[in-house]
Amino acid sequence: MITKQLIDQIEGEASIYFDMKDDKVDFATISFPHFRGMENILEGKSALDALVITPRVCGICGHAHLMATVRAIEDAYKNSGNEIVLSQKSEQIREFTLIMEMIQNHFKWIYLTIIPHLLKLTSTQRTQTPLKGAYAASIASKVIAIFAGQWPHSSYMIPGGITSDPSNVDILKAQSHLDELIGFFEKETLGASLEEFLLFESCKEFREVDSDIAFIEQELLNTDMHKKGFAHDRFIVAGEHRFTKSAKLNKTRSFKMNVKYIDSVDSYSPKEHSYAKNAQYKNEYYETGPLARTISQKIPLVKNMHRRFKDSAYTRVMARITELGYLLQQAKQLSSGLYIDQDSYTKTVAIQNITAEGVGVVEAPRGPLLHKVSIKNGLIDSYKIITPTQFNIGSSKQSNPTPAQKAMLGTTQEEALFIFRTFDVCSVCTTH
């Protein structure tokens, strides 16, 4: 029997077609039915127009798209013989605002997606969780706006640096908001101080606190999510940042990777037309996102989870919450050491003088985001975007399933719908 489920409460919409056998998922295909055409819109426009257009690909990770765009254009400058050297100030502030966007995304995902759907799966009652997510995300957005002017859809990163010039008062405001956010995370999410949490080495330590993270962990165990949701147990981290390095991972073994081997292929969606493509590395499917990044960083707590429960739905969820703690620590450290006395911008040659190709790679909340641009006399000849959801939630044939397709096999339909959301789906990024 084949059944269709429309997936909402994600960024956009998706459809899943379940092929059920003995009330368990035997196979599933995924379609993203909405065309947006962002790549087509960019063709023929000034390369600098992409700084305004691409942040509007997504209302959750527009900052990541902006950074991928500016990195791609700066790479084109380099390839044309006009390499741009950023000031430490502009590099730090770009990184800081990206981290804050990842933080707001993680909070929303925990409180507006995972807990509500975990409650639905377990028929458990728990109040105020959506409000908690909205509150935490709003604080993170205030911090971003201090440097970026607005959130979402800011365009303050430009080839050569940034357009903002924060003062000491701005830094103090950002630090105050960040302290408030960390306090919320400690009281509501962790039930422990951030410093204590970052010293956790075993998932058994979650049971010693009274908090939302303890509730999530217990309900994941109660629903056997530590025994379900397994994908390929291989991962990709493509972006280079202060909080992570690029790597290809087989389980926890790390290998070098090269972004030139990342490409997209047509998806398999026989029941409904899909405007999404699948992303691969050397023609194979890899999982991306917080679980990949925390494994590559050899975080003791995540290593313990993986050793016990492999790449299960449990590990995928708890790794994202763990990364949230580490990102808050990174943000705290960055905000205390910003070089605001340096120049925000390094002058570049006019974009009309650039004819070259460039690639921008960023770790977005859900994983690697790639922007590839071909520029001719300052105009965009072609533009290609590869997003994390294309890695995680592609739709392939049964003989070669994507991470999400594999993770849903053998589960009930309700379990599969929850597992699907553990990858943090973004339809609008996928149908750019």
What is the tens place of the pLDDT at every residue in 305-339? 999 999 999 999 999 999 999 999 999 999 999 98
Residue among 153, 149, 187, 193 at smallest CA distance from 332: 193
Question: Is the pLDDT assigned to residue 12 strictly greater than 90?
Answer: no
Per-residue pLDDT, 345: 96
> What single-letter amino acid sits at 339?
Y
Q: How far apart are CA 259 and CA 246, in angstroms?
A: 9
Residue among 183, 219, 184, 214 at smallest CA distance from 200: 214
Which tens digits make up the pLDDT trace of 355-410?
A: 999 999 999 999 999 999 999 999 999 999 999 999 999 999 999 999 999 999 99
Phi, psi at 258, each rounded to 5°: -130, 125
Contact 68, 406 (CB under 8 A): no
Q: Which residue has the tokens 């700084």?
A: 51
Question: Is the pLDDT assigned to residue 148 strictly greater than 70?
Answer: yes
Mean pLDDT, to the nearest integer, of 155-179?
97
Contact 359, 370 (CB under 8 A): yes
Mean pLDDT, to the nearest integer, of 253-259?
95
- Return the DSSP state at 11: B
Mean pLDDT, to the nearest integer, of 107-136?
89
Domain boundaries, given as residue ranges, for the chain: 2-430
Per-residue pLDDT, 31: 93
Which tens digits make up the pLDDT trace of 336-361?
A: 999 889 999 999 999 999 999 999 99
Q: How far apart are CA 203 and CA 424, in angstroms?
A: 22
Contact 346, 77 (CB under 8 A): no
Question: Is the pLDDT assigned to residue 6 strictly greater than 70?
Answer: no
The CATH fold assigned to 2-430 is Cytochrome-c3 Hydrogenase; chain B (1.10.645)
Q: How far apart are CA 423 and CA 243, in angstroms?
A: 20
| Residue 384: strand, helix, or coil | strand
> Does residue 390 come out as left (phi exceeding 0), alpha (psi in the -120 to 50 range) or beta?
alpha
Question: Is the pLDDT assigned to residue 8 strictly greater than 80?
Answer: no
> What single-letter amino acid sits at 27?
F
Q: How confident is the model at residue 112 (pLDDT cuts 50, 70, 90)?
A: very high
